[in-house]
Amino acid sequence: MGLLYVFPVSMEETDFVVTKDDTLTLKTYGLPYIFWIYALCVIAVIIFMFLAIKDPILKLISLGDDTDATLGHSLLAFIGLLPLSILGFFFYEKRITRQGSKLGLIHKIFGITVFSETYDLDRADILSVDSFLTSPNVARMNGKDDNLGFQNKGYFVLWLTNTAGKRIALDRHSRKADLEKLKSLIENYSKL
């Protein structure tokens, strides 16, 4: 999720890098404020949409049979859950924790842990940064200056290879240098 939710890349980013009880915790940055304006606009549209359909839906629920009532309640529940889903997108946080040879990956929404997994860092080559670009970059291969804006730069993924050989994506970013710094921060924490 590093294309939207960016991890810190140095220990100087003290608001998002926490070291406590021999544990390093890296927290993602929140979304920029312009996204909050977009969210308020979308929620306003949902409110106007609810106000426009409220009376017919309530009439359908009260006058219709069980199927109509179920459809009416389902539609009201869906419209009620839309703003909550949008706000969940804004209150999403991803954390990477490192304590000794253990690496934790935690996903939170509204401060509630939704997914948590712990991995062992028992090898030196367990973390790697690879390009996600799988197609040929034709604009770059031509090498012309007028094709510069069409070059597909893709993005990069920070992978964790567990003991079973399965690759888990820890983060992704459009800048390889930032992922390399994040990788170094995670790997070298116990050496600090």
Tens-place pLDDT, residues 56-114: 999 988 987 889 899 999 999 999 999 999 999 889 899 988 888 888 899 999 989 99
Q: Label residue 133 by pLDDT band (50, 70, 90).
A: low
Q: Label residue 192 by pLDDT band (50, 70, 90).
A: very low
Mean pLDDT, residues 124-152 taken together: 65
Q: Label residue 2 by pLDDT band (50, 70, 90).
A: very low
pTM exceeding the 0.95 threshold for the entire prediction: no
More confident residue, 86 or 153: 86
Q: Label residue 148 by pLDDT band (50, 70, 90).
A: low
Mean pLDDT, residues 151-169 taken together: 76
Mean pLDDT, residues 13-26 taken together: 81
**Which of 9-13, 19-23, 48-52, 61-65 is predicted most confidently?**
48-52
Q: What is the pLDDT of residue 1?
A: 44
Share of the chain above pLDDT 90, in %: 26
Q: What is the DSSP string of 10-54?
A: STT-TTTEEEETTEEEEE-----HHHHHHHHHHHHHHHHHHHHHH
Check the CA dihedral 100-103-108-112 and report its sign.
Answer: negative
More confident residue, 176 or 92: 92
Give the angle subtended at the CA of 182 by the CAs of 91 and 154, to the nearest 5°: 80
Does the structure show a pLDDT above 50 at 131?
Answer: yes
